[in-house]
Structures are given as structure tokens and as C-alpha cells.
Structure 1
Amino acid sequence: MVLRRTLAVMLAAAAAVNASTFDVTFSTAGHNVPSTLYGLMYEDINHSGDGGLYAELIQNRAFQQVTPGTSAALTAWAALGSAKISVVASSSPVSSALPNALSFAVPSGTTSTVGFTNSGYFGIPVTAGWTYTGSFYYRTPTPPSTKVSGSFTADLRSTSGTVFTSSTVPFTTSSTWQQATFTFTASSTQSAVTNLFALSVGGSTVAGLTMEFTLISLFPPTFNGRKNGFRMDLSETLLDMKPAFFRFPGGNNLEGETAADRWAWENTVGDLVDRPGRVGDWGYINTDGLGLYEYLQWIEDMDMQPIMAVYAGYSLNGASVASNDMQTYITEAINQINFVIGDASTNAQAAIRSSMGHPDPFTLNYIEIGNEDFFSPTTYADYRWADLYNALHAEFPQLHYIATSATSGNVPSLSPAPTYWDLHIYSNPNFFINGAYNFDILSRNGLQFFQGEYATTTENSGAALTYPFIDGSIAEAAYMAGFDRNSDIVFAASYAPLLNHVSSTQWTPDLITFSPNTVIRSTSYYVQQLYSLYKGDFYLTSTTNTASSPVQWSVTRDTSAGQYFLKVINTATSANTVVFTLPFTPSHTTGTGTILTAASGTQNTPTNPNAAVPSSFSFTAGKTITYNAPGLSLSVLVVTA
């Protein structure tokens, strides 16, 4: 957060505007705030996994789920020199999961350099000081009678051929698959990302040969130094939010277009050579290099806890699995959970986890049964929920199970009756402003709610948004004050979608937009961040407002730190004043605050990524605090008791 300045300077312009005054008194009574209140919702959409969080730089690295011999099978690949490349169904594949390979044929008599390149996921970053780690499998289906030995050169280069860093990789012809590994370190940073990975060799060495390659991989340094890990800058951007949970793997991308296309956990674990990948639900191939184990390891590294979904028998073609076919998916869900928390000494799925490097169980408290099953509420109510819940609860009674067929707080009837419900809503700013008290009217009857997806997706006029804008983000902040206030029944909330690759977009707006070498934090990102950082552990009851009011507030406390967080949200375009009367006299006469505010319509975009960012200020803290909130603002005032 930047631009520390005094409150008087910051509000000089706003003070000139006639402002309404809101008197707020709060007490020391209230309720605990769940530690899970603010977190992340994830699915692989907008290349947020492959090409995003997953640090792998090579697109189409193993020719998964493509048709050999087609141009589409060569996505991101191109030949160098006189070599001919195509994707073939290997006569002796590297594994049953990866049947395809890149055929590399070099004409007889070739003397010049030949090879092939990959353009990455819409570019490859070259960064000074980064050591890149690469590998590939290769073989010669019909090797010459006399073995040929030589060296490939692996490098990063510009599209014009300027080589930035390289490494030599020895090889020997053989009909069996061999794995080669290499590293190289970049000495300079390139501002452009239109770079290529190349694998080349002197033509005279391989003239007349046809070779096959697959699982051609290149990783930059990863978050926490994990092998097969996550992209650093995106992980650090998310870590800066201090998220409490990570809901995964979807979302629609859990369900598949059909049951056969669903996200199936067992295809995402083990060695990469044994992961077949799948056609994802958002128009591109999922490598499943980010598999169940990698997600869980990263969640642990990020100090989050998982909210893990299991497939519940509904897919995006609108079909539900028949009742008498559910057992396959029940068993799959049980095995998925056992992989996460089972005893590795007695359970086969847990033993796989242990073999991958995590003998102890991961943390797991919440299981979401399906996703958006309000699209097939009858089968969910008739048998899908009950079949899965009864079986999973019998096996894992300590876990909490979340139902997904509600469209509002007026939940449908299911048996057994769920305690936990996931709600989704996408709308315009006015909806979120007027919905600030949606949870206040709900009965306190033991139900717990997860606002698993929400976002302002249009202007009030109905115009679609490419990026979040300040008007919508502040409206979301008003809605989130309701999460604080009702955190006795709202146990978790997450904006969606989370990530968007600027060069491959299926849904807008998104919390974070990125390219191969940049990260753009939206105005909504900063709203989410402020609520999470200043969540507190206890909500204090205060004067209530009305849903139609332009000003909302929330008061929470960090008990161990002795700090109180006064959040003020002004959805009007002009200033308004809030007068807080505290139930104590602050121990420090100067308080600190953070504010996000901007002119109506402001967006953080790739060309103007910092149009609206939070800034810090100080204020006089007493038993009464008068705060003039600028138009379209979220402010957090921190007071020490």
C-alpha cells in the first residue's frame, strides 16, 4: 500500500461537499468471526491453471488429448530449419497415459541446424538471474545400426533468433525412451515476452533420422521452490491477501461436459508421465500437472485450508448420473478424500500421497458435494446428495459437507438436511448495495452459508465489464459488510473468478489479470485484501443502517492485538460523514487507516494497472471519531484500545 498522507490532505476535496452524517455506536457485545471468512475460489478458467498458477512454460508439452496428424495437435510448436514435425500416435508410447509424441524428421544430407520451438502460453518470460529447469523424453523409433551420439542445444530466444540463454544436452540414439534434463540461467531481462523455447541440433549429426519427443518441460523458479510448482508472482499476489481457504478444483471445471470428461482425481496424481490430462470445460486442454497433490501442497505452503469439491454426478451437458450408477462416483469421492487424509500405512490412496512426499495427512475440514446443483435440483434432492452424503459421512464423520443446490438463503429441502450451503450470485452494483442486509433476515437455525462465488459483472445499465471497476468494487464492499455482520452464519466467502490470462479469456471480470510477466490487481482485489487483512476475530454489534443507505460499516476486533477495525463503505459518489462513539478510550491518540477510492468508472487495466490503489493515512483517535468518507470509498480505521 502506498502514498501515506494525512487525513486532512486526503479529504480536502471531499470536505467541500455537503455530506450526510451517520452516527454509529458500538458495544463490546457481538460474536466470533470464523477464521475461514475470506478466501479464494479457483477453477482452471481463463488459463488460470495451465499458463497461469502452474509455472510450466511449455504449452502442449505432451500432446495430450489431441488428434495426431492435425494442425491443432501442433499448437504452440514450429519446426526449425528443414526438419519436419508432426504429432503421431507413437508405436511404443512413453506411457499408456501419453500415447502421442512429436515426430521430428530430418532429411538426408542436411547440414544446417534443425530443431523445433515452442511459444509457451502466449509468451515466455526471460528474467535475469532466473535458473530454468527443463527436461524431455526422446527416442529414435528406428535407430541406425551404429549408434549416433551428439548434443542438443536447449535455449530461450527471441522470435528473430537472438539467444538469451542456453544449455547443451547430450543424447544417444535408442529405440527406448530416455529422459534428458538441463538447466540454464538468464543473464538479462527481456521486456518482451514473445520469446521461444528451442531445442536444436546440428543437421549433419541427425541427417536422415526420425526421432520422437514428448513431455517437453521448462520451469522457471517456483513459489517456495517446489518441483512441478506454482508461479511465484501470482502466488505472492494471492498470499498478500492472506486468504483463509482455497475452494477447488471447481466450479464448472469439476463437472466435465459429460461424466466421462469430469475432473477425476486419480488422473491428476503420480508421475507426470502417468497423467493423461483432459479436455477442460473452458475450451482448452488441462494437463493436470497441477494435480490434487500439488494443490494441497501449495495450499499448505500458503497457510490456507482446502474446501475440496467432489464430483456429484451432474455434468454440463445437463445430464445426471442414474441412481443405480452412482456407486462408481461415491467410491471415487471416498478415495479422493482418503488420498488427502487417509493413513498411509493402511490405505492405498494415502500411500500414493506418501510416495509423492507427504506421509502425514493434509488438513481437510470441508467437502463440497458437487457444484451449482441447482441446475439439476431434482436428481440432487432425489438421490445424488443423499447417496454421497450418507456414504461420505459414514466414512468421514469428522468432515463438514456443503450442499450446492440453493439459489438464495431460502434453501431447498434435502434429506439428510445439510448444515452448510454454497451460494452463488453475479449481478450489478445496485444489487450488492441493496443486498447488504440479505443475511440479516435469515433465521438463526443452525444453517451455515458459504458465499462461494460473487462479483459485479455488469454496470447498472447492463453493460458488460472487462475488468472490475471502482463502482462495482465498492458495492461489493458494502455487501461484504454483511458478511462481517452475519459471520455467525456466514462462515466463508470468495470472489469469482479468481484469475484471467489477458491473452486467453473466457469470463470477465476477474479478480486478477495477468500476462506471462505481469500481474494486475483489480479494484476488487484490493477490497478483498482489505477485508481479509482486517478481518479480526470478533464482530462488535453496532448501530444498524438500512439497505438503501449509501453508507455501510462494520466493526471487528483483533483480540490478541487489542485493535479495533472500523470499516466504512461509501457507495455514493459524494462524501458522507460517519461519527463513531467507542465503548472505550483509545490508548493511542493517533490511529492509522487505509483507503481505496477513485473516480467513478476507474479500472485497473494492463495499460493502467495502478489507477486505483489503497493509500494510508493517520487520524485523531478519541472516544468519538468523526470520519469524512470520500465518495466511492472503502476505508479501514485501526484503533488500539
Structure 2
Amino acid sequence: MRPLSPLLTVLALAATRAFAQVTTTVSVSATASHAIPTSLFGMMFEDISVSAHSGDGGLYGELLQNRAFQQVTPNTTDALSAWTPVGGSSITVIADPSPLSSALPNSLALTIPANSAGQFGFANEGYWGINVQAGTSYTASLYYRVASSIPSGKGSAPPTLTIALQSASGTRLASHSVSLETGGWTHVSAVLTPTRTPASTANLFTVTVSGVPKQGLDVNFAMLSLFPPTFKGRANGMRKDIAETLFEVRPAFFRFPGGNNLEGQTPATRWQWRNTVGPLTERPGRVGDWGYVNTDGLGLLEYLYWCEDMEMEPFMAVWDGYSLDGESVTGAALDPYIAEAIEQIQFVIGDPETSEPAALRASLGRKEPFALKYVEIGNEDFIGNAPGTVASRWNQIVTNLSTTFPQLQFMATSDTGSPVLTPTPQTYDIHVYQTPDWFTTNSFFYDTFARNGMTFFEGEYAAISSNSSNIFGTPDQGRFLWPTVAGSAGEAAFMTGFERNADIVFAASYAPLLGHVNDSQWTPNLVGFDAGNVFKSTSFYVQKLFSLNKGDEYLPSTLPSVNGTLHWSVTRWTSTSELVIKISNIDTSPASLTFVLPFKNVESEGTVQLLTGAATASNTPEEPDLIVPTTGKVKTGETFEYSAPAMSVSVITFGAK
């Protein structure tokens, strides 16, 4: 055999050394250092902001877009968004002289010309389509008012109004007909059950009138609606497939009504709880902070029922005097807004016998209070606020709220310790959007925080870009359209730091949660969707792996290298004596670990759940299941080895006591 050349000898020695270097020994303690809070992993929601149509057209079950012509300018083309005429009719959104309600001043005016035969009306395209499935019951409803006279007498049959679902090719899939009546606003409700499933979601909701008198006809329509079956059958509830996807994660909490969407572009356009409760006909909606209308059909009461249906704890925010245009309300001018915040909280937890907002809640069918522990004061007060303004508003708001609700904890949203706030916050909400590498190297972010009774909520975090110098740039500048394997593995490294510091980090939520693939102003999102599909990202699977396997106490172990690419945490379920080891490897090569356990009774085999793939790989609408977790077996024992694949997140579980 020929001797190796000098170059090959060097390469062989380097390979041997490299192999030795990637073996890491992890010694685990038998004694827990702290409990893992049940609230550690949850969800943050931004209602129709940041991620376009995450509420309306997304989580909220309503299938019709622009259903009530809220906050639009009458007699404009934009006011007819999503609506088109059918037949030779004419449609216009008008300021109705006799509106359905003061909250909904506009209606759609249908004009059918004289001497018309056939069907005339209008159609709604939904939110980039309507998913229609055979055998599924869809609840349709509308209000109409005949604005012109209808001939009566012998031989004069009233015109017929037909509500229908129609395929893109014009095939009627389901319908319901009634005779038109005169005399003010009339409500029509029907259950439409299609007998066939069309080939695509490019379907229409149609309203047509036939049997029109010779002189023509004018009919006004308001508050049109189409609902599919909702999550857990909740009236005015959530889209079932999206809700069921989120329920897979078993989130511990839900932060609402969102970050920026709480604030408003001005104080007058802030999110206002009273405008989001009561009958849908009494909700005016608002122009959201990203330029389009929020119906507020998903309102305060719906949020609270949703939390119960999902078995989540509500984290609710109140407006704190700061709007996105930079305006701060301070001093005596802030008092009415503090009163509004108190009323909002009273609606949630107050006694109907002593509180008007709580009595309103009871009148809407919910006498008993909801569970509430955490209230967030504003959103991201570390952006655009003068420090003195932040401090004065915090003092004024929290002093008042804590006097009224001493049992609640109030979260600050300014930078921790800057400015100094009085009273001292019990909790801070921290947000960070960064690169995969940043999240990996900052796994120790919370390790140096003081243990002084203060706790922390990582309310928004996500790896959104590969470009550290332009995090919020465009896709051609490194911004991710979808979460990547490298980003998700980096987030997992950061999340092991949550567990290691769960004595002070009590909650964390990836953000944003949802994004419609046809219209999203923010990328990436945890879950994507269109009219008929839900797309689970690689980061969704990481959140699910951590949430379902968090354990209830943390076991200290050998610490990872602060600047390394390999991170881990060890937790335990005390009731089952099951050990949970989570490992993030963001390196392009596998990493070998040897675990040394202090237990004598260790199962010889464990389960490993593994998410791995190319660093830039993503789940997309074109390849929705490109990267999914796999489940296998791994040999375990008092001492065992595990090779973490390159670009991977591993969760190993086994019995040990």
C-alpha cells in the first residue's frame, strides 16, 4: 500500500480531529432547578394586521368579503370590493336613507331595469375563493329592503329572491328561494347544502331576483353572511381547519387583540372593545392599521370563547394612550381611556350585579366571568415613544388599574429597565425578529437577567431573514417568505433558553401566527392558508414539538457552548418519570452527544421525534409537506449516545427514575 501524500495525511488528521471535536458529553442532574410553567408556549394573534386577513378571511369563519360595506365610501368602485353584478342589473354601495342600523349606514343597492326577464343580482367571490364541499351545511343570511313598489293584485306573483352557491363554471351547487316582501328590512336565513364538490375554490355566493315586474325593481341589501361549520360548533366562530391546526399545538395562552392592531393609526381609530361586542348589525368595524377594514365580527366576546374552546389562558391588551402616528395622550386627557380600559376588564371578569360592562356580558349570554390573570398595557412602547411619556402613562394607567383589579398582573411593553417605570412592572413583554444565527447565539439571552421577582413574556419572536444588516428587508434582500429549516432550528435553540430560564420566562409565542397566501404584508408566518388549505411551516412543527413535550420541571445539565451551533435542554414529566431532551443543531454537519444520567432505572429505548432538512428548505403551498417531523426509536440508558443530524431539531423521550 502506498503511503498517504502529505496533503491527504493532513486531511485525514483534520477529519479525525473534527470527529473528536463534535462529540459533546452532557451530564444531567437528578435534581430539578425550577418548574416549567404550564403557560410557557402559547400563541400571539394580530387581528387582520401585519399578516393580512389573519382574522377576517382567515381564522374568523365568515366566508364573504366586504359583507356589510363597513367603513367604505359610498358610490365608489372600491366600496364594491369582492362584489360583481349578475345579469343586466346595476349595483352600487349607497349611504342608505333608511339604514339597517346606525352602525351599518351603507347598503348595496340593486337596480333591475324595466322590461327585464331572467335573473338579476350580484355575486361575492369570498376571500380569493370560497371552499365548497358536498354534504357540508353552510349558513347563509342577509337583510333586504325593497326600495320600489311591487304590483299587487290578482295574477301578480311577488318576485323571487334566491340565495345560492355557484361554481366558477356557473353550476349551481345549492340554493334557497323566498318571495320578496315589502315593508322595511327583512331578514332571510337559509342552510345551503351542496350536493357536489367543485373542482376548485373559485366559487361564488350569489343573490338573484327573478319574476321582476315590468317597471323594474330596486332592492337594497345589508349584512350578507355565509358561514361554514365552525370549530366546536361555536356560533359566529372560527374556521374549522385553521382552528384544528392550531389546536394541534395545544397552546397554553392566546395574546389578543394583537400588537399594532390595538394601537390605531390615531387615538380615534384605536381598537375599541365596545364596538366589537353585541349583534353583528351593531358593529361598525374599523379601518385596521394596515389599510383595510376589520369587520370586528371577531370581537372581544369571540376571543374569550375561543380561548375557552381551545383551552387557552387569555392574555388581553388594553390601549395605553399611544397610537401609530406617534401621538401620546397624557395627563387628564388620558383619564377617559383609563376608564375605557377598566370597563373592558370589567366586561371580562366583572360582576353583572355591580358592573354595567359585566351586565352587558350577561345580556349577551355569559353571566359568569371569564378567567383572566394577565393584562398587557399597550404594545411595543419601546418603538417611537418618548421615555418620559412612556413612564408617565404607565404610572397613571397601572396605578388606576391595580387599585381596581389588585388580583391582576400588568405587563409592560417598553424596554426592560429603560425608562424606569413606577410602579415596577411585574412582567415585561419582549419582542425580537432576527436571523437564524442570532437566535442560536442568543440562547443564553435570559441567563444573565436578575432574579428579583420580575418575569418575562417573549411575546413575539421569529427568524425572518438571512440578512443581519437588513432584517426587515424584502425577499431579494434575504427576507424569508416562509420559515426555513435553519430559522426553525435557530428558534428551537432560543427556546431551549426559555426552558433553562423558565424560573423567569413564563410565556413565549412565535409571531405572527397566520397569513393568507394571497395577501400577506408580513412574512414569514407560522401557519399559511388559502380558501381551502392550511399550510404548516417548519416553525409550526417546532412549536408543536416544544409545546407537547415541555415537561413540568427543568433538570440542569452541562451547558452548551455560548457561541456554538448545538443547544439542548432536559426536562421531566414528574407524574410519569419521563425524561424529555430537546436538541437543536444548526450546523451543516451532524453532531454527536453523549448523555450521562444520574438515574439507575432508565429505559433502554426511547422515542425520537426529528425535524431536519436543507437549511433553506421550507414548506410552501407547492410543497406543503416537504419537511415534516418523523418518529423513530433511539437506544437509551444511564449513558447513551445520540447523533443530531445537520440542521435539525430532535426531541427524545424515555422513562428514567
What TM-score do you get using the length of structure 2 for normalisation?
Answer: 0.93
Change (3 A) 1:577 1:188: same
> How far does residue 206 in structure 1 lie from its aligned partner after superposition?
8.0
**C-alpha distance in structure 1 between counterparts of 2:417 and 2:485, whole Å:** 30
| Letter paired with 1:268 | T
Equivalent pair of 2:377/2:411 in contact (CA under 8 Å): yes
Equivalent pair of 1:113/1:200 in contact (CA under 8 Å): yes
**C-alpha distance in structure 2 between counterparts of 1:191 and 1:474, whole Å:** 38
Q: How does 1:518-597 map to 2 (within 5 A)?
A: 518-597=533-612
| Letter paired with 1:283 | G
Equivalent pair of 2:388/2:419 in contact (CA under 8 Å): no
**C-alpha distance in structure 2 between counterparts of 1:433 and 1:242, whole Å:** 25
> How far does residue 187 in structure 1 lie from its aligned partner after superposition?
2.2
**Partner residue of 1:305?**
313
**C-alpha distance in structure 2 between counterparts of 1:21 and 1:444, whole Å:** 33
Equivalent pair of 2:168/2:202 in contact (CA under 8 Å): yes
| Letter paired with 2:125 | S
| Letter paired with 2:307 | I
2:179 to 170, 181, 203: 170
Q: Deviations over 1:202-221 (max 9, x none)?
A: 15358522111000000000
**C-alpha distance in structure 2 between counterparts of 1:112 and 1:379, whole Å:** 68
**Partner residue of 1:397?**
406
**Partner residue of 2:114?**
108
Q: How does 1:215-364 map to 2 (within 5 A)?
A: 215-364=223-372
Report the secondary structure of 1:58's partner residue.
coil
| Letter paired with 2:84 | A
2:35 maps to 1:32 = yes
**C-alpha distance in structure 2 between counterparts of 1:379 and 1:268, whole Å:** 32
Q: Deviations over 1:487-521 (max 9, x none)?
A: 00101101111100001111001111100110111
> How far does residue 361 in structure 1 lie from its aligned partner after superposition?
0.5
**Partner residue of 2:525?**
510
1:43 to 40, 43, 46: 46
**Partner residue of 1:3?**
none
Q: Percent identity?
A: 49
In the alignment, structure 1 segments of 5+ residues that lack a partner are: 1-14
**Partner residue of 2:23?**
21
Q: Deviations over 1:167-224 (max 9, x none)?
A: 22333122x1111111111222234111110011215358522111000000000000
**Partner residue of 2:639?**
624
Report the secondary structure of 1:525's partner residue.
helix
**C-alpha distance in structure 2 between counterparts of 1:206 and 1:435, whole Å:** 75
> How far does residue 18 in structure 1 lie from its aligned partner after superposition?
3.8
**C-alpha distance in structure 2 between counterparts of 1:197 and 1:97, whole Å:** 24
Equivalent pair of 2:44/2:256 in contact (CA under 8 Å): yes
1:119 to 121, 125, 138: 125
> How far does residue 445 in structure 1 lie from its aligned partner after superposition?
1.2
Q: Deviations over 1:148-183 (max 9, x none)?
A: 734322111123311122222333122x11111111
Equivalent pair of 1:432/1:475 in contact (CA under 8 Å): yes
Q: Deviations over 1:361-405 (max 9, x none)?
A: 111000000000112142543421111101110111000100001
2:188 maps to 1:180 = yes
| Letter paired with 1:388 | I
Equivalent pair of 2:146/2:181 in contact (CA under 8 Å): no
> How far does residue 100 in structure 1 lie from its aligned partner after superposition?
0.3
Change (3 A) 1:74 1:619: same
> How far does residue 625 in structure 1 lie from its aligned partner after superposition?
1.9
Larger Cα-atom Rg: 2
Report the secondary structure of 1:96's partner residue.
coil
> How far does residue 551 in structure 1 lie from its aligned partner after superposition?
0.7
User: What is the aligned residue count?
Assistant: 623
Q: Deviations over 1:423-472 (max 9, x none)?
A: 01111111111101010011111110111011111014651111111111
2:65 maps to 1:59 = yes
Equivalent pair of 1:106/1:206 in contact (CA under 8 Å): no
**C-alpha distance in structure 2 between counterparts of 1:340 and 1:288, whole Å:** 17
2:92 maps to 1:83 = no
1:481 to 491, 496, 502: 496
2:619 maps to 1:604 = yes
Change (3 A) 1:452 1:380: farther
**C-alpha distance in structure 2 between counterparts of 1:365 and 1:36, whole Å:** 12
> How far does residue 324 in structure 1 lie from its aligned partner after superposition?
2.1
**C-alpha distance in structure 1 between counterparts of 2:606 and 2:454, whole Å:** 37
Task: Note the aligned Cα RMSD (angstroms).
Answer: 1.6
Equivalent pair of 1:586/1:621 in contact (CA under 8 Å): no
Change (3 A) 1:102 1:592: same
Change (3 A) 1:206 1:327: farther
Report the secondary structure of 2:525's partner residue.
coil
Equivalent pair of 1:377/1:405 in contact (CA under 8 Å): no
**C-alpha distance in structure 2 between counterparts of 1:640 and 1:80, whole Å:** 65
**C-alpha distance in structure 1 between counterparts of 2:464 and 2:417, whole Å:** 23
